[in-house]
């Protein structure tokens, strides 16, 4: 760019400018961002994560295995004050999948986590997905008939009713 000033005049200092006009790097500089380094395709490819972050599922697997050994279908886990309920749910769900089990959470009191295990059944899983989709379509159709749905849903529901 030579001796040219690297700062672009914002719209309020010298006229409007469409973001597609000119150099995209100059557009970024207009808003205070500066390009520090460019990456080659090889550098981008090597920087991408190839595996998910490893989480130690040992305690969760122990809970699932203990429950399977007892033959009982469900359990209640007490949560300590610092426990992250969502993280515990993710860990239990991942451990159950590793043991080919479906895990369903039930309502529980504060400070506890209640769940039920069952053998994974692909047909039931597909049926649940189909039922959920049908419920959503029914809900969208009802909302569309009342005029409460967003435009896209109204149009989709109207097309479904015509067909």
Domain check: are 15 and 69 in the same one? Answer: no
Backbone angles phi, psi at 50, to 5 degrees: -100, -20
Domain check: are 76 and 100 in the same one? Answer: yes
Confidence of residue 107 (pLDDT cuts 50, 70, 90): very high
Provide CB contacts within 8 A for 54, sequence distance 6+.
Answer: none
In the chain, % of residues over pLDDT 90: 32
Q: Does residue 78 form part of some domain?
A: yes
In the chain, % of residues over pLDDT 70: 69
Query: Of residues 77 and 141, which shows the higher confidence score?
Result: 77
Please give the Cα distance from 139 to 152 (Å, whole number). Answer: 14
Domain check: are 96 and 127 in the same one? Answer: no
| 118 DSSP β-pair partners | 102
CATH at 87? 3.30.1370
Express each pLDDT in 57-67 by its tens digit: 999 999 999 99
Domain that holds residue 144: 123-162
Q: Does residue 106 form part of some domain?
A: yes
Confidence of residue 11 (pLDDT cuts 50, 70, 90): very low
Enter the pTM of the model: 0.49
Domain check: are 66 and 105 in the same one? Answer: yes
- Token pair of 58 as six digits: 């040992």
> Reduced to 3 states, what is the DSSP secondary structure of residue 96?
helix
């Amino acid at each position: 760019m030579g001796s040219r000033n690297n700062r672009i005049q914002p719209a309020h200092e010298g006229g409007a400018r469409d973001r597609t006009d000119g150099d995209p790097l100059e557009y970024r500089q207009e808003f205070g961002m500066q390009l520090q380094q460019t990456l080659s395709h090889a550098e981008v490819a090597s920087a991408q994560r190839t595996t998910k972050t490893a989480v130690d599922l040992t305690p969760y697997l122990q809970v699932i295995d203990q429950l399977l050994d007892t033959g009982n279908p469900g359990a209640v886990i007490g949560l300590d004050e610092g426990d992250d309920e969502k993280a515990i749910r993710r860990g239990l769900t991942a451990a159950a999948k590793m043991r080919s089990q479906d895990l369903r959470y039930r309502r529980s009191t504060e400070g506890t986590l209640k769940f039920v295990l069952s053998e994974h059944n692909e047909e039931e899983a597909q049926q649940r997905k189909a039922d959920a989709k049908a419920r959503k379509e029914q809900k969208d159709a009802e909302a569309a008939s009342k005029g409460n749905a967003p435009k896209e849903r109204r149009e989709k529901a109207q097309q479904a009713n015509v067909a």
